[in-house]
Structure 1
Amino acid sequence: MVDLHVNPELFALVPEPTKEDFAALKKSIEANGQHNPIIVWKDPVSSKDFIIDGHSRYETCKQLKIEPIIEYKQFDNWLVAMKFAVQVNSNRRHLSAIQKVELALREIEIEGKIAKERQKSTLPKKGEKGFQKSVPNGMHTGNTCEIVSKKTGLSSRTVARLKRILDDGTDELKRDVASGKKTAASAERLIKLEQIHTNPISLPEGKFKIILCDVPYKYDFEGEGAPNYPTLSEEEIIKLKDQHGRPITDLFATDAIIFFWAPFPKLEDALRIIHAWGFSYKTGIVWSKEKEGISQQGTGHYVVATCETILIATKGKPGIPLPKNRPLGILRAPRTNTHSQKPDITRHWIEKMYPNEKYLELFARETAKGWTAWGNQLDFPKITKPVIKKGILDYLER
């Protein structure tokens, strides 16, 4: 049998077949023979015959003791040979979406190296006139995700999600996505969760008297429909520290009041967190999720959820609002299409209760005028604020 060589760098460029795929290939070649030739290039430097495409076919032929069918091709150098190998594998239909993105990213990287080499060859030598001004043929410009999107036919959002998995995910997670065991969305959520645990963002400077808080509760059942943001257990929320080791409780002034969102299934958790942070529960507000007077139905195991609560708790002596500034105990406002987003009007209620204070929103999704916002989702695409109609503002003045 002809002796062919494997270049480790080139071999690592393309995804290895699964055991099932390799077994199917072996069975096919054993029954029907080898149809596609093994592409080989004779490296002019070493004079060795290297496999450019067809590593699995070559291994199968060796195991079956069959003389392989070989086709020699000429390439200018190893970079061009690698680009050919990536392009050939990119056109194979059995690749998963993440494998297509991985190959496209590698192709872009190789093209960049080829372009640099070409540019070096066109630059004027010492003592010569002229300068290479144009971008060499083959060099891509523009956003990487958009380029990969065009190469693979996937959306830019999907490419960005898969690129994050390739950059930050474990090998096991990548395999799970490639095999379909996990969706790209759930894999990305796991990465976000791991990153918030290992490198929580810095807490804001100073101490705050007025706090609005919407913690990312971890529920008992978090499947594929779980929220697309990192959730935390009760203990993780209580003991949360930023990357500098500063505890979240360091944000609270000696005299402070907290408005703490608590869905009914998480009331006990919310109360334990509040107490662990040094606050004492006082009262609460119910958010009735209504649109044009009709309740908006959510999910629930015992009842259909239409409400959430805001627990109000104090630390020290923050004072109580003037009678004219006290809101009703029920907030009637529609929910948005964004999972867990709370009514923007809540901040206006708090500002009226405690005017001209230093306000802090914990686990925020967006920034608001006059408020210090802290939360890992602030780096994500900005959520469009709902329009507050004049009728609602009139309601605040009651």
Structure 2
Amino acid sequence: MILFNWPWGDLQPHTYDFIMSDFAWEFALRSSKGEAKSAQAQYKVMSLAEIKDLPVLDLCAENAVHWMWATNPMLPQAIEVMKAQGFEYKTAGTWLKTTVHGKISFGTGYILRSSSEPFLIGTRGNPKTSKSVRSGFTGLAREHSRKPEEAYRAAERLMPRARRLELFSRTNRPGWDHFGDETGKFEVAA
């Protein structure tokens, strides 16, 4: 029985060994030129305070990993979120975005043009993880905020027997539970 305002629908508390989250960060635009490419133009976003208040830890088993996608300009805020949600920050990794031709992508950005996306790894308790997963990988940049298949393969290698959840997911994939407004928006790549 859930005794408080549970924001996670049918998801059960204290269930997941591994959570991958892609929060709908509200991003401060520095000019109107980037407005059409912004997160706000793609989907409903959340304030930093709203994200910090999400009870993600309540979804976790006693020993769990939280893989949290972030953005380079908002890394300090992402670390704040991880701590506010009750996770102990452990390390970070990077997705180097590539084009369909195998070249490094050339995105928008502040000072530097973005060609990568960071993720933070935090823990609750002492989860057992593989020691063979690298902190960086290359992967195809696709639709706005869509993550590469390489990320999911890395996550599955990191904790092969984990009960996995993707928060704010856009793709329903076998072996994972999903939550978010856009769940099922994209097909799993073959």
Same fold (TM over 0.5): yes
CA-CA distance at 1:248 after TM superposition:
3.5
| Partner residue of 1:233 out of 47, 51, 75 | 47
User: What CA deviation, in whole Å up to 9, does each residue of 1:327-367 have, x standing for no partner?
Assistant: 2222111100x111111221111111211210011111121
User: What CA deviation, in whole Å up to 9, does each residue of 1:272-295 have, x standing for no partner?
Assistant: 111111111111221101234411
Q: Secondary structure at the match of 1:216?
A: coil
Contact kept in structure 1, 2:82 and 2:89, CA below 8 Å: yes
Contact kept in structure 2, 1:201 and 1:376, CA below 8 Å: no
Q: Which runs of 5+ in 2 are unaligned?
A: 1-6
CA distance 1:351–1:231, change in 2 (3 Å): same
Verify: 1:355 aligned to 2:169, yes or no: no
Distance 2:150 2:137 in 1: 9
Higher fraction of helix:
1
Verify: 1:307 aligned to 2:116, yes or no: yes
Q: Which runs of 5+ in 1 are unaligned?
A: 1-199, 241-246, 388-398
User: What CA deviation, in whole Å up to 9, does each residue of 1:95-127 have, x standing for no partner?
Assistant: xxxxxxxxxxxxxxxxxxxxxxxxxxxxxxxxx
CA-CA distance at 1:203 after TM superposition:
5.2
Could you tell me which amino acid in structure 2 is paired with residue 331 of structure 1?
Answer: F
Bigger-Rg structure (1/2): 1
Within-5 A mapping of 1:23-38: none
| Partner residue of 1:289 out of 97, 109, 116 | 97
CA distance 1:251–1:270, change in 2 (3 Å): same
| Partner residue of 2:169 out of 364, 367, 378 | 364
Within-5 A mapping of 1:329-344: 329-336=135-142, 338-344=143-149
Match of 2:4 in 1: none
User: What CA deviation, in whole Å up to 9, does each residue of 1:18-74 have, x standing for no partner?
Assistant: xxxxxxxxxxxxxxxxxxxxxxxxxxxxxxxxxxxxxxxxxxxxxxxxxxxxxxxxx
Verify: 1:383 aligned to 2:186, yes or no: yes
Could you tell me which amino acid in structure 2 is paired with residue 335 of structure 1?
Answer: A
Match of 1:120 in 2: none
Distance 1:369 1:239 in 2: 29
Could you tell me which amino acid in structure 2 is paired with residue 330 of structure 1?
Answer: G
Could you tell me which amino acid in structure 1 is paired with residue 173 of structure 2?
Answer: A
Distance 2:57 2:158 in 1: 23
- How many matched pairs? 177
Could you tell me which amino acid in structure 1 is paired with residue 147 of structure 2?
Answer: K
Q: Secondary structure at the match of 1:376?
A: coil
TM-score, normalization: structure 1?
A: 0.42
Deviates more, 1:286-295 or 1:266-275: 286-295
| Partner residue of 2:24 out of 213, 216, 234 | 216
Distance 1:202 1:248 in 2: 13
Contact kept in structure 1, 2:20 and 2:66, CA below 8 Å: yes
Could you tell me which amino acid in structure 2 is paired with residue 290 of structure 1?
Answer: T
Match of 2:3 in 1: none
Distance 2:111 2:10 in 1: 38
Match of 1:114 in 2: none
Q: Superposition RMSD on alpha carbons, in Å? A: 2.0
Q: Which runs of 4+ in 1 moved over 4 A?
A: none
Could you tell me which amino acid in structure 1 is paired with residue 157 of structure 2?
Answer: K
Verify: 1:263 aligned to 2:71, yes or no: yes
Contact kept in structure 2, 1:203 and 1:248, CA below 8 Å: no
| Partner residue of 2:81 out of 265, 269, 273 | 273
Answer 1 or 2: higher relative contact order, Cα 8 Å, separation at least 6. Answer: 2
Match of 1:105 in 2: none
CA-CA distance at 1:386 after TM superposition:
2.9
User: What CA deviation, in whole Å up to 9, does each residue of 1:203-257 have, x standing for no partner?
Assistant: 51242111111111101129651332111111101213xxxxxx44311222111
Q: Secondary structure at the match of 1:289?
A: strand
User: What CA deviation, in whole Å up to 9, does each residue of 1:130-152 have, x standing for no partner?
Assistant: xxxxxxxxxxxxxxxxxxxxxxx
Contact kept in structure 2, 1:210 and 1:359, CA below 8 Å: yes
Within-5 A mapping of 1:1-398: 202=9, 204-206=11-13, 207-221=15-29, 224-225=35-36, 226-227=38-39, 228-240=42-54, 247-291=55-99, 292-321=101-130, 323=131, 326-336=132-142, 338-378=143-183, 382-387=185-190
